[in-house]
Amino acid sequence: MKFQKFLIINLLAFVSMNLAAQTTLQVVTKVMENTFPYKNGTEVNIEGEKAEIKVETWMRNEVKVLVELVSKNTDRKTAQNDLDQMVYSNEQVGSKLYFRNYFSTKKGGKKPTSDIKAIYTITLPADCPVYMKNNYGLSDISNLTRSLRVNSQFSKINLENVSGKIGIETRFGDIEGKNVDGNVTINSRRSDITLHDIKGTWNINSQYGVMKFFTNPSPELLTMNINAEKSDVYFFDPKPNYYGYTLTAHYGTITAPNNLKLNYLQNTSDLKKAIFSSKIGKSNISVKISFGDIIIRNP
């Protein structure tokens, strides 16, 4: 009996080790790096598919792009074949630099079964305008000072210390930002927005999302206009009476601290309209929402 148990235990161990060996992921990587001269007027265009894109800045008059194409599969040959279907290209046309990756199924080829992604690290001068399109990935952008446009689907967007003219179109891609300042326009659908310490002029259109703004009293937050549908809007500020408010909620609620004395122009179950004129600051926040709530709170 002891011998039989010994055989069974060793057989189970062998099977377990064999299964583990079969499920070990094989990783195939292709790395490319290019550097381009930069002069005033140069614009960088990035188009990613299943891409993690990091944009950062430096003091050099150069644009550097490092791209890693990564494929993971339990079978190394399959990982390699699938990686070969991901195409990366870069080119310069006039004052524009184009970086792009996409899938190109070969004639008679099969849809990739491997876990494939492209990892971009793009380093450029802070005043370089950037246009980015990214699907099914991640965008991480910091320290730009001039112009940023993002068109994104199923991709999270992180912004930090970004200023200038900013335009974002996102669908199924959450936005998180810190120290963002400028003329900002956001159109989002099924995306949550979380922003800290923002300044400038903001215009936001949102459908099916939760918006959270963590602010501190600042004369540099000039205006904020929000139009939202089936979304909730939260403001967290230690001095909410620093701002003026024009709030409208169709089939929703408006909640504010007791020390913020809102003047209700209309207050029914279907429609609520409230205003507040600040005697401290000149910034104004306007929110129009349908089928959602407006909540103003102290942190």
Put simply, whether the predicted model's pTM sits higher than 0.75 gets the answer yes
Query: Is the pLDDT reported for residue 107 higher than 50?
Result: no
Query: Is the pLDDT reported for residue 119 higher than 70?
Result: yes
Per-residue pLDDT tens over the stretch 149-201: 999 999 999 999 999 999 999 999 999 999 999 999 999 999 999 999 999 99
- Token pair listed for 47: 């188009």
Angle ∠(225,156,98) on CA atoms, nearest 5: 100
Helices (H), the chain: 2-23, 76-83
When pLDDT is cut at 50, 70 and 90, the band that residue 282 belongs to is: confident
Identify the helix (H) or strand (E) that includes residue 140.
strand 138-142
